[in-house]
Structure 1
Amino acid sequence: MRLFRGMFTALAAQALLIVAVGGGLLLWNVYTTSERALRSRDAAQLDAFAALAAEAAAAGKPYDRIVAELDRRDPNVLGGRVAIVGADDRLLGGPAAGPALLDRPIVVGGRTVASARIVRSPQLADRDRALLRDHYIGIGAILAGLLALLLGAAYWLAGRWSKPQRELLRLSHEVADGDGDIYFDERGPREIVGTMRNLRRIANRFERIETARRTWLVMIAEELREPIASLGGHLSELQEALTAEPEFKAAIEADQNRLARMAEDLHAVALADLGRLPLRFADVDPRALIHNAIYSHAKRAEAAGVRLETSNLPPYTILVKWDAERIEQLFGALIENSMRYVPRGGRIVLGLESQRDAWRLIVDDNAPGIDVQLAQQLFEPFYRANAKETPGGSGLSLATARAIVEGHHGRIEASNSPIGGLRITVVLPATPPMA
């Protein structure tokens, strides 16, 4: 639409310029033509008056009477505008002499005895004014009609010329959104149609590659889950068979849990990419889910010297329709992410606030802050704010959180926390539309 408006504005401006220039030339032509007509009329009338004045002067009639008779006889053309001046430029009759607009000699007996001069500009008669008015109205009507015609043509041309560009823009948006099955009308300039065809080939190829990638991720995640579970069982048997140090056993258990979380997170992200993340909605109390998440991670947080706290939890029971298992995975992913950055002695605070027909889940920590401009990159798979300073972890925590949130038709945002680190805000409807 913006492209159409730009084209139409440019064409409309050109149309207005054409009408303005053409109209100005027409008005100038009417004005100069009327001026020439008045001068020709004055010249013819002054010639006739000079001849009559010569006859009257030969008969001995005074010049002032000759001019007075002219004023009475022809008040609309030369009346009050003609003066008779002697050879020595002395005024013999008529109004005070000024710059001569036209000058004709008065000849008596073959000798110039005086001259008749028009010393004032012509005054338009009512008939002349009516004629000029009709001319100007006619020109105005023609110009208005021409402008309307040109604006209509500009509107049509802008729509015709901008349609291929708008279609190309639409296709580029579809390709950018990952839609590989695009259709378009192959009409328009050859170059634009060729570009559309190239976009369709790119989109089809990208869709094949993306589908293969997502399918491989799901297959890998599913293949990882079984050996990891088997590995956990074997490690438990090994720990029972061997007399090992508690620290060694704890390390083995932590590694096993981390591998299991990585497999689950990878599986959730891959399924979400394919739009097949399984969700089982049921009535749950989000306060209980928060307490469960804190209890599940309490031992690890204590070992890391990090305090898990709650804040702003409502004092009454809340019932929402969420997938409890996925929401617990969401809290685990958010706590897991914060624990990778929070230093020993730090805090992770979980809160819950009401927002109309939705609830805001808030996780604050006091790890080093983030650049707000890069906040949304945190939700990309395997992205790390500073991989050198935060080894370990899969980089899937926030990507997993976003997949679960989008499955619940909510939104997730990152910002700076009031306690100095990162704040993750999740807004989930109390009852998702598809639940």
Structure 2
Amino acid sequence: MIGQLIVLLAGALTIAVLTVLIGPAVFHYHLLQTDLPVDSSELVHIERAYRDALALALGVGLVVSLLAAGVVTWNLARRLRQSLHGLTLAVDELSRGHYSTRVPSLGAGAELDSLAATLNDMAARLDAVEETRRRLLSDLAHELRTPIATLSAHHEAMADGVIEPEIAMPILAGQTVRLSRLADDISEVSRAEEGQLPVELRLVTVDGLLASVLQEWDERFETAGVALRQDIDLHHSATIHADPDRLAQVLGNLLSNALRHTSPGGTVTVSAWAHGETVEVAVTDDGEGFTAEDRSRLFERFFRVDSSRTRENSGSGIGLTISRALVDAHGGTMTAASDGPGQGATFTIRLPRARPAR
């Protein structure tokens, strides 16, 4: 505001000085062009009247202009200060970890409104990250609670002589392996989400890769009493740039997930087809399915559709997370779809086809 007032005062002084210096001289020149004598009293009174009228009009006009400009400048500065104060408070709250804070509508111009919208978007993202972190810590605590409780109970039982060490040792060893596997799972999913899992790309034929994976899983499905079908529609041998071991890991995770959620007598179908510049591979089952709410969380770490399941019955809950990270590393996408509980599920992988060499 002080800067604006300085500019206004400088402009007012400039107008006043120029008017006082130039106005009377020009007026006096035009008076000399009349027939009035140079030293006549009429000429003196006319010039004095002009100077008085000019001074009065200029003084009143400058005062009114300065007052109006000052009021407008003060109002603008006040609104800007209030808007910036609101932004400052919101940023301060965010810096203290209150990610639910939102900047209210400022109404102070498109630029500040855009800044407020950007801050709100950032706050929403930070809030989502914080919610994921809390959920991850809760999941970790849940995963650790059972083996730790088992280890503690058996150690107390051995100390009290209730159970013999020879009987407790297999249980203790199993729970120790479970903790070790959980630590490995956490490490692997962290590396996957950070894009640090090594991927060695080379030309791979999709039908050859699928044939190898299906042959490996055929016996497991037969033992579980679930039919494993294939519907591969690749008229030409479609090739992709991929790491066959990593893609086999992805397909293995999807087949394992489908087998775990499909009852005996059900069917799992692996489909593949070329669509333009992409190759799509889908794993479809007629098992438990999932809700629309669960679909938004399927690829989150340690998420399981049925939270009552144990790790032994439903896996670690990171297979889909790692699978999507690996597909992303190949430049592709992975999606999930289901018509609802009991209606089965379909997981689709889309990968870019390898361009033919010239």
Compute the TM-score of the two structures, normalised by the length of structure 2: 0.50
Give the structure, 1 or 2, with the largest relative contact order (CA under 8 Å, sep 6 or more).
2
Compute the TM-score of the two structures, normalised by the length of structure 1: 0.42
Larger radius of gyration: 1
